[in-house]
Structure 1
Amino acid sequence: MQPIPYWRLSSFYLCYFALLGATAPFLALYFDHLGFSPARIGELVAIPMLMRCIAPNLWGWLGDRSGRRLLIVRLGALCTLATFSLIFFAKSYAWLALVMALHAFFWHAVLPQFEVITLAHLHGQTSRYSQVRLWGSIGFILTVVGLGRLFEWLSLDIYPLAMVSIMAGIVIASLWVPNAQPVEHAERRGAEGFLKQLAAPGVLAFYICVALMQLSHGPYYTFLTLHLEHLGYSRGAIGLLWALGVVAEVLMFMLMSRIFARFPVRSVLLVSFLLASLRWLLLGSLADIPAVLILAQLLHAATFGCFHAASIAFVQSSFGARQQGQGQALYAALSGTGGALGALYSGYSWKLLGPQFTFGMASVAALAAAVIIALRSQQTRNSP
């Protein structure tokens, strides 16, 4: 058994999620800086998420078919950098929509394939996955804190330059990672293809819950920064609040191996959905109270940390080696579908109905996911 290239894998996650740290808190803020309305902001933020409905499945099929996952990761990272660089040429709504679509098509090719490579290097030890993935959270933290401070000192006009710098880091990190292929077990070969595994008890219900959970995150990822800025929080403080949530996520990743040793994956998912429902209610109604806002951000440990680690474990245990890429891609695609719908509805309801109602709808979506997973877990107790 070859040693795990821990630092090489971790460096990629650090750079990849540093880009998310530049996008999630600040992309909508940048579009607001350019003068777009909440509805247009919601549409522009939704476009990359919509690309997750298409790109991961296409690239996942290609990765499973060719086995050239690392090549897809490297080309995807390079094309992401090249297409996003088009943002320097114009700032109209149509041009920005094109830039969002093009770079997202390649960006969403990267992570699902890299997840398969990582699990192959870990020899299927999902408990070790969290120890590697936590470096992605660290990259997110460094970025939101650093950019939050930077945007207090300098204009948001430098935002595109910060983005392409991080994208260049992803390209470099991808060149450092060695390749690995998942081991195909005999019981997963032959007639048992992707669709048959997808039809296993509880698997479709899991994917529906993924879409609902990401839909519930729509107002959070699209308007939290603007929401807090309007409540009087500074950009530096907002960056720290985003970082606080991810610190909680990192600590949770460090505990996930112990949690999985004591609790089944479905129970972890159920608790994540219930706490997400509570979190959105707090953010919509009581975010002006600093103590409540801090509590809501600490719940990121459950709404992302537990949820993502449990989802990766579920997909890894539900699909064979030849279907891993498609399983991860479907997870990414339905996450994108839910996230895009969440960004769209929040964009249209934010000004018309207000933050409280918008976050309230998110809470209902997370609660619906909890009900579905609870019912399915009773019917499929022995499933992953």
Structure 2
Amino acid sequence: MSEALPWHLRWRLSVLWALQWGITGSILTYLPLYFTKHTLNSVQIGQLMAVSAIGLLVAPFVVGQICDRWLSSNKYLAMAHLVGGLTLLCVPLAAEIYRETQDNFGTLLLLVTVYAIAYFPTIPLASSLSFRHLPDPDSQFSKVRIWGTVGWVISGLVLSLWLGQSDALAWLRENFPDQKPAIQGYETFLNRFGDPASGDSFRIAAILSFMLSSFCIMLPHTPPLRTGKAKGKVAPLEVLSMFRDPQFCLMIGISFALAIIVPTYSYAVPRLLENLDVKDDWVPAVMTVGQISEFPALILLPLCLRKLQLKATFALGMLAWVVRYTLFAFDVSMGWILFGIALHGVCHVYLVIVIQLYVDNRCRPDLRASAQNLFAFVTMGVAMPIGFLLAGALGHTFKLDHPEHANYQGFFFVDATVMAVLLVVFWFSARISREKPSPDPANP
């Protein structure tokens, strides 16, 4: 029987994940629409979303070394989110200048790069910090990670309600005529903050970044584990020895290929919804259907790992992506599109979190920050930029810039086919062991 999860640890890690994913939830689903509004084309949007993953290029070599050897993880998180919040405030200013002048795309690209370097390494770092302190990560990680889903959903809904406040107020007046004084008071309260603007998505994310930066002083202290022969060694280079295991190489290789295909979802689905007459202000709210589905997926994850084992659970996540992209590839009703979005829980949890648990099980305790950042480097730092660039090229090929000629069926058919091939390769090739290495760095 696993050790109980202490309350003082549970609430701290829960708040960490709520704010961590709340930041992403307030900007990611709205990002393609925001940049389209500011006259960027498909190729430029693909470049911006690709460069947004560049932070993972330096993560395993810089962040991993810092947090595994020199600086506590909670202090690094505080500094990174402070820099990220300041950068987010500058992005909408640069986007407005580009819309007016069509002449400073490089500045916008630079700001997104700086933010990527600050923010994206914090995702695997938050995972390694959680794994380090949880008594039983396999059964307990989902209990704190589920609050990341809560943060994403709330921030996405707040963004849509803020941007679409005129529609929301009109709906309230129509359906609750007896509450007119209360509705007027609510409208007066909103007017104090000025008129909503599309750039407010970045401002909301900046506020959450500053909140998380401040909250990091409440996180459990997570100093580097410098023991035995690990002292003085370069942690990221030690992690590379894990590639001697052929099955570890296979899992990383499959994850790399998946990370090339997955970005097409974030790139194209918001546009697909807009093409189906969903107002752009309400796209983030509709997309939260996917995040809400993470609740049952996270709750069922420990059971799936116990009953199905890691291989079948991972394959289930891949199968969900095949079904999702296949639905998007057909001219189906809005209900089926929402069902495809609602598969996000299985798609995300049973791929990303399962592979994070696998990596954590396969490495020594003093290398976990570096190992998680290595995985993030391979997937989000290398594969994901390639995926966004390919998504931009595919979007151009299938004319997603022109709603009247857009071919979403062809776009998603390519994704569904590639994902199905990867599922077959994984199922017949993977032989996964979850045997843990020695916890003593002096005796690897």
Q: TM-score, normalised by structure 2?
A: 0.79
Whole-Å Cα distance in 1 between the matches of residues 423 and 224 of structure 2?
32
Select the residue among 66, 87, 98 that pairs with 1:62: 66
Select the residue among 130, 135, 145 that pairs with 2:147: 135
Select the residue among 249, 254, 272 that pairs with 2:299: 254
Select the residue among 283, 287, 294 that pairs with 2:338: 294
How far 1:56 moved relative to its partner? 4.2
State the partner residue of 1:332. 376
Q: Deviation per CA, 1:42-92, whole angstroms, max 9, x where unpaired?
A: 111111123323334421122222252222111111111223333254333
Contact 1:56/1:108 (8 A) holds in 2: no
State the partner residue of 1:172. 214
1:29 aligns with 2:15: no
Contact 1:70/1:179 (8 A) holds in 2: yes
How far 1:274 moved relative to its partner? 1.8
1:268 aligns with 2:268: no
Q: Deviation per CA, 1:253-310, whole angstroms, max 9, x where unpaired?
A: 1111111111211111112112212211212324x51221122122112110211221
The one-letter code matched in structure 2 to 1:122 is L
The root-mean-square deviation of aligned C-alpha atoms, in Å, is 2.7
Whole-Å Cα distance in 1 between the matches of residues 227 and 429 of structure 2?
27
Q: Deviation per CA, 1:87-133, whole angstroms, max 9, x where unpaired?
A: 25433321110110001101123122221111111034321001100
Select the residue among 63, 71, 75 that pairs with 1:71: 75
Change (3 A) 1:270 1:163: same
How far 1:335 moved relative to its partner? 2.2
The one-letter code matched in structure 2 to 1:315 is V
State the partner residue of 2:278. 233
1:309 aligns with 2:313: no
Whole-Å Cα distance in 1 between the matches of residues 199 and 284 of structure 2?
18
State the partner residue of 2:85. 81
The one-letter code matched in structure 2 to 1:251 is P
Select the residue among 53, 56, 63 that pairs with 2:57: 53
Tell me which moved more, 43-52 or 8-17: 43-52
1:346 aligns with 2:415: no
Runs (4+) of structure 1 exceeding 3 A deviation are 1-4, 180-186, 379-384
The one-letter code matched in structure 2 to 1:59 is V
Change (3 A) 1:57 1:262: farther
Contact 1:215/1:362 (8 A) holds in 2: no
Whole-Å Cα distance in 1 between the matches of residues 277 and 87 of structure 2?
35
Q: Deviation per CA, 1:207-259, whole angstroms, max 9, x where unpaired?
A: 11212222222121122112210221234653333111111112111111111
Whole-Å Cα distance in 1 between the matches of residues 315 and 360 of structure 2?
18
State the partner residue of 2:21. 17
Whole-Å Cα distance in 1 between the matches of residues 73 and 314 of structure 2?
28
State the partner residue of 1:208. 253
The one-letter code matched in structure 1 to 2:423 is A
Contact 1:55/1:106 (8 A) holds in 2: no
Change (3 A) 1:125 1:87: closer
How far 1:383 moved relative to its partner? 6.2
The one-letter code matched in structure 2 to 1:176 is M
Whole-Å Cα distance in 2 between the matches of residues 282 and 182 of structure 1?
46
Select the residue among 108, 111, 115 that pairs with 1:96: 108
The one-letter code matched in structure 1 to 2:66 is L
1:285 counterpart SS class: coil
Question: Between the two proteins, what is the percent identity of the paired residues?
Answer: 16
The one-letter code matched in structure 2 to 1:316 is D
Whole-Å Cα distance in 1 between the matches of residues 425 and 217 of structure 2?
41
Whole-Å Cα distance in 1 between the matches of residues 250 and 62 of structure 2?
22
State the partner residue of 1:162. 204
How far 1:15 moved relative to its partner? 0.8
Contact 1:72/1:109 (8 A) holds in 2: no
Change (3 A) 1:207 1:368: farther
Change (3 A) 1:7 1:380: closer
How far 1:135 moved relative to its partner? 0.3
Contact 2:361/2:434 (8 A) holds in 1: no
Change (3 A) 1:160 1:98: same
Structure 1 gaps of 5+ residues are none
Change (3 A) 1:184 1:363: farther
Q: Deviation per CA, 1:173-223, whole angstroms, max 9, x where unpaired?
A: 32221213587999x999x94233232231111111212222222121122
Whole-Å Cα distance in 2 between the matches of residues 54 and 178 of structure 1?
25
The one-letter code matched in structure 1 to 2:351 is F
Whole-Å Cα distance in 2 between the matches of residues 111 and 382 of structure 1?
23
How far 1:31 moved relative to its partner? 0.6
Whole-Å Cα distance in 2 between the matches of residues 308 and 367 of structure 1?
18
Q: How many residues align?
A: 382
Change (3 A) 1:185 1:281: farther
Select the residue among 358, 362, 373 that pairs with 2:411: 358
